[in-house]
A and B are shown apart, each in its own frame.
Chain A
Amino acid sequence: MKKRKISEALVISTVKKIALKASFDLEPEVEKLLRQALAREKSPDGKTALKIILENIALARRKKIPICQDTGLSVFFIELGREVDLDFDLVAAINQGIREATKEGYLRRSVADHITRENTGDNTPAIVHVKLASGRRLKLNLIIKGGGAENKSLVKMMSPAEGIPAIKKTVLDAVKNAGGQACPPIIVGLGIGGDLELSAILAKQALARKTGSKSKDRELAKLESEILKDINKLGIGPSGLGGKITCLAVQAEKAPGHIASLALAVNLQCWAHRGAKAVI
Chain B
Amino acid sequence: MFKNAKKIHTPLTPQVAKSLRTGQWVLLSGEIYTGRDQAHRRLYDLIEHGYRLPIPLKNEIIYYVGPTPARPGRVIGSAGPTTSSRMDKFTPRLMALGLLATIGKGERSKEVRDAVRKYGGVYLVSVGGAGAYLSERIRKAEVVAWPDLRAEAIYRLTVVDFPCLVAYDAKGGDVFAKNRKKFEEA
Contact = CB atoms under 8 A, between A and B. Distances in A.
Interface of A: 42-43, 45-46, 48-49, 51-53, 55-56, 59-60, 63-71, 106-110, 117, 119, 146-148, 151, 179-183, 233-237, 239-244, 270-272
B65 interface: yes
Contact of A181 (B38, B85, B175): B85
B163 to A, nearest CB: 7
Main secondary structure of the interface of A (DSSP, over half): loop
A147 B81 CA distance: 12
9 contacts: A55-B130, A56-B130, A65-B77, A69-B78, A69-B151, A106-B69, A108-B66, A241-B179, A242-B175
Contacts of B176: 179-180, 240-242
Interface string B122-159: 00010111111111100000000000001100000000
Contact of B132 (A56, A146, A240, A244): A56
A180 B125 contact: yes
Contact of A49 (B78, B84, B106, B127): B127
Contacts of A51: 1
A59 B67 CA distance: 16
A240 B175 CA distance: 9
Contact of A69 (B74, B79, B84): B79
A241 B106 contact: no
A233 B185 contact: yes
B86 to A, nearest CB: 8
Contacts of B106: 148, 179-182, 240
Interface string B156-186: 0000000101000000000110111111110
B184 A235 contact: yes
Contacts of B181: 235
